[in-house]
Structure formats: C-alpha cells, structure tokens
C-alpha cells in the first residue's frame, strides 16, 4: 500500500471513529431521556445502515469532477444526447477506444442505490451521490454509435444533454510480441487475460512468490513459516500453470521468486538481499526449477534488487517484446506494483532491448476500492482521476461472453482468490443485496470476480 493511500485510510478511520463517538454519546443521551431499550435497537439499525450504505472506502467526494487530459492525437467530438440516443458525430472516423465525457447527477434514490448508466445493453455504475464529470467507456460500440442508434440512459441519475466523445486509435497489440510483468501470481489474469489469451506471441514474468498472509494454510496444522512456504509454492504453481488456460504454455512463463512486499526495500538498498518476511526463506532458487531458461540470480539465489535488474535485462533480451504490460505507477498504489514498474524502467534503461510501447494497468486504486463499480460483465468506466495523470492514450479491447467466462475460470484457479469470505463480509453482502441492490457473480466470492471480469480491459498507452 502506498504512503498516500495509507494516509487516506488513516484519515478515513479517524473520521469514522469521531462519527461513532458522537453517535454513541447521542444514543446514551437518548436512552437516558427516553427509553433504555432504544439504545441496543438503534445500535443494530445503525450497524445495518453502515454496512448497507457507508462501508465503501471512497477517499474523495462523489461531487468531485474526474479530470482526464488525453493526448493531442485523440479525436475530440462534441455530441448531444437527444431522445435517449447519442447523436453521431460528423465525419466520425473508426476508432477502437471510445470515451464519453459527460456530467452525471444522482437522483435522490441515487444517494442510496448505485447510479447506473446504460449504453446499449452495457451497464456502467458510479458513486452514490455522484454529481460531476465522469467518463463512460463506449469501446466496442462504434457501429451503433456511427449509425445514430446507440441508446444511453441513466438509472438513479441524470445525464447532461451535451457531452464530449474522445476517439483513440491503436494497433491491435495482441498481434505484437508481448511481455506481461506481474508483481504477483493472478495480476496477469486480473489485468490482461483477455489480451494474453488472444496474443499470438506472449510471455509472462511473475516477480514474487506471493507467500505472505498465509493464515488459511495454518489451519492445516502448519506453523507460520511452513504455511508461508506452502502458499508461496502454490502461487508459484499458479503463475506457471494458470496461463495455459489462456493458451500460454509453461515454457513462456517465468517465476522469479522474489518475496512479497520486499521489492521497495530491495530498491532502496540494491545490493542487500531481502528474504521473506514470513517463510524464513532467503534463496529465490527454491521456486525457479521449472523456469524455461537460466537467469543471473540462479547463480547465488540472492533476493536483491541488483539480481532482479539482471534477471529483467536478460528476459527483455530473450523475449524481445515490442509491447510490455505493467502496473500503472501513478494509479496503482500497491507497493510491489509501483516497485515492479520502477524495476522495469531501470532494466529497459540499462539493458540491451527497448520495447516500443508500455501498456499500463491498475488492479488497485488509491481512492476507490470498488472500481470498477457495478456488477460483473458490465463495462469499465474510467477510474477516478482527482489528481492529475499523464496524458496517456487509452486502449480498451472488448471481451465477449466466452472470453469473460474463461477469464472467470482462470481467476477461480488462483489459490489466493479461492478462500471463503469472512463472516463480516458475507453479512455485509447480504445486507447490501437486500437494501442497496448490489449483486455479486456466482463464479467466485472474491471481489475480483466482480471487478475484473468485464466487457473491457483497460490499458494506458505510453510510447518509448
């Protein structure tokens, strides 16, 4: 977790504690002045209301505008919404990625139920109480849009009559040589299963074993270190085996075996080895025996930044990718994700092979833990951009129903996404389903089955 997100979460919890203290004092006064039995009743009702409507981690105001700046080569078209349809722009050229900038305002029901915008048969959800500029993803809707037949409507919100359409043209990156950098097992599937299952020439490199937070495996009678080692072995297997479901053989998958949440420390002290926080292991070679090629760190197994750099330089030269897929360093706050992209940049700068393009993804956000909002199989509206972002072009390929099902099954194979929900989260879901109308897919309980299995994948494009 980044320092900024830690600060936001700390402030959020502080405000919640203050609100709870004020509410408790008010309840005690009410019980003393009216009737004591009101206190436990209102406590239960207050908890239910909190779980239904106030449990989201939203670290900005729903009234804040999103602020995106697109590159100069993005075509910009003013459009209107008349009679529930988007007017076709004049001289509208074909484009693979279409983004509609529009103003939304929640109705009174939209303060309690998630506001929805329907674009044809696609649903994209937004923050309750939304009142500001947002960005709909219209990618894959070019044909009905150009014919003036694309219907758009809001549920629990109103749409402004005037909007701006941004059209961006990209090559089909699945036709290029692609290397996916995954900080952990499952990151490649979450961000880019649709891309890599269609790519003609793709390789996947996973940087860490993913061994920490192994509570579930302690129930097997293992001590802390043994449980962490087992989890690391299982997630290593996931990183090598699950891509085969998307057509990527094990010979095109590499597991580097560094340790979870140690990448930032490695970057700060490049020559010092940083072993696992939980498993007690200090040698990355323990999970490298199935790799398709020898790498520099196989000599001494030291989990150091210098070894990681040497590994990445060799992998870039070996696979010679034209396109590298990696975490977005400004959007994705996970400490290992930020460090992974930092490592990639350094390896490209110091190595012998420079790709043409970076495709950046965000599996986590600073400001909104529910993004993409709404149920599985819907579209992916752009995430919050309250602070300025680089003016990157976007590429948003679409996934048909078969690809989405295959992606869901790939996630179901990931051991880290298989655990049962804690009782508190299960109760929260029941309450939100009953009172807030939220739905979760039947493919899996983990929140990523809702967030990642969508009509779109979304990448920020940077030319090198």
| DSSP characters over 355-389 | -SEEEEE-SS-SSBTTPSPS-TTS--PPPP--S--
Per DSSP, the three-state class of 178 is strand
Q: In the prediction, which pLDDT does 9 show?
A: 55
Q: In the prediction, which pLDDT does 92 show?
A: 85
Question: Structure tokens of 26?
Answer: 């008010």
How far is the C-alpha of 108 from the C-alpha of 76, rounded, in Å?
33
Q: What is the DSSP letter of 422?
A: P
How far is the C-alpha of 201 from the C-alpha of 353, rounded, in Å?
17
Q: In the prediction, which pLDDT does 94 show?
A: 86
| Angle of helix 38-49 versus helix 3-33 axis, rounded to 10 | 150
DSSP E strands: which ranges in 374-446? 393-395
Report the alpha-carbon angle 337-338-341, nearest 5: 85
**Residues in the chain, how many?**
464
Query: What is the architecture, at CATH level 2, of domain 173-385+393-463?
Result: 3-Layer(aba) Sandwich (3.40)
Q: Can you give the pTM of this predicted structure?
A: 0.92
Q: Which fold has domain 75-168?
A: Jelly Rolls (2.60.120)
Q: In the prediction, which pLDDT does 73 show?
A: 93
Q: What is the DSSP letter of 73?
A: T
Q: Is the peptide bond before 206 cis (omega within 30 degrees of 0)?
A: no
Q: In the prediction, which pLDDT does 4 show?
A: 55
Q: In the prediction, which pLDDT does 108 show?
A: 96
Q: CA-based Rg of the chain, rounded to a whole angstrom?
A: 24
In order along its 464 residues, the chain shows pLDDT tens digits of 455 555 655 665 565 666 666 666 665 666 666 665 666 777 788 888 889 998 898 889 999 999 999 999 999 999 999 989 998 888 888 899 999 999 999 999 999 999 999 999 999 999 999 999 999 999 999 999 998 899 999 999 999 999 999 999 999 999 999 999 999 999 999 999 999 999 999 999 999 999 999 999 999 999 999 999 999 999 999 999 999 999 999 999 999 999 999 999 999 999 999 999 999 999 999 999 999 999 999 999 999 999 999 999 999 999 999 999 999 999 999 999 999 999 999 999 999 999 999 999 999 998 899 999 999 999 999 999 988 899 999 999 999 999 999 999 999 999 999 988 999 999 999 999 999 999 999 999 999 999 999 999 999 999 99
- Maximum CA extent, the chain: 77
Question: Structure tokens of 269?
Answer: 């002290």
Domain ranges, ordered by start, for the chain = 3-54, 75-168, 173-385+393-463
Question: Structure tokens of 239?
Answer: 């990183």
Q: In the prediction, which pLDDT does 1 show?
A: 43
CB 283 within 8 A of CB 301: yes
Handedness of CA 310, 278, 181, 205 (dihedral sign): positive
Find residue 324's DSSP bridge partners. Answer: 179, 358
Residue with tokens 């793709």: 202
């Amino acid at each position: 977790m980044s320092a900024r997100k830690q600060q936001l979460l700390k402030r959020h919890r502080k405000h919640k504690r203050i609100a709870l203290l004020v509410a408790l004092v008010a309840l005690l006064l009410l019980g003393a002045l009216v009737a004591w039995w009101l206190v436990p009743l209102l406590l239960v009702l207050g908890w239910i209301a909190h779980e239904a409507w106030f449990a989201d981690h939203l670290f900005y105001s729903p009234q804040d505008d999103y602020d995106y700046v697109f590159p100069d080569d993005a075509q910009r078209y003013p459009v209107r919404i008349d009679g529930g349809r988007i007017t076709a722009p004049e001289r509208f050229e074909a484009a693979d990625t279409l983004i509609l900038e529009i103003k939304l305002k929640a109705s009174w029901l939209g303060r309690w139920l998630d506001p929805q915008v329907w674009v044809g048969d696609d649903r994209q959800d937004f923050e309750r109480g939304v009142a500001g500029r947002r960005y709909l993803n219209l990618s894959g809707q070019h044909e009905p849009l150009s014919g003036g037949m694309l219907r758009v409507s809001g549920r629990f919100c109103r749409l402004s009559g005037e909007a701006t359409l941004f059209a961006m043209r990209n090559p089909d990156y699945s036709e290029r040589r692609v290397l996916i950098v995954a900080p952990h097992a499952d990151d490649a599937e979450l961000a880019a299963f649709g891309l890599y299952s269609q790519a003609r020439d793709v390789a996947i490199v996973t940087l860490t074993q993913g061994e920490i937070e192994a509570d579930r495996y302690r129930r097997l009678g293992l001590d802390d270190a043994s449980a962490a080692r087992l989890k690391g072995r299982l997630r290593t297997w996931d990183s090598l085996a699950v891509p085969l479901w998307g057509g990527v053989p094990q010979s095109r998958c590499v597991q580097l075996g560094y340790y979870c949440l140690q990448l930032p420390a490695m970057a700060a002290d490049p020559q010092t080895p940083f072993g696992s926080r939980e498993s007690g292991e200090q040698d990355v070679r323990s999970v490298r025996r199935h790799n398709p090629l020898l790498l520099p760190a196989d000599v001494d197994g030291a989990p150091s930044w210098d070894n990681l750099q040497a590994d990445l330089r060799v992998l870039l030269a070996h696979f010679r990718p034209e396109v590298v897929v990696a975490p977005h360093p400004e959007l994705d706050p996970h400490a290992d994700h930020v460090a992974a992209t930092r490592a990639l940049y350094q390896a490209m700068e110091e190595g012998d092979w420079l790709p043409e393009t970076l495709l950046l993804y965000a599996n986590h956000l600073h400001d909104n833990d529910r993004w993409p909002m709404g149920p599985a199989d819907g579209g992916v509206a752009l995430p919050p951009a309250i602070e300025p972002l680089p003016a990157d072009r976007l590429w948003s390929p679409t996934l048909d129903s078969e690809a989405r099902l295959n992606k869901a099954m790939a996630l179901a194979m990931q051991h880290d996404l298989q655990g049962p929900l804690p009782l508190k989260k299960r109760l929260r879901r029941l309450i939100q389903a009953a009172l807030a109308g939220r739905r979760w897919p039947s493919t899996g309980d983990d929140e990523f089955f809702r967030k990642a299995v969508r009509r779109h994948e979304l990448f920020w494009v940077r030319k090198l």
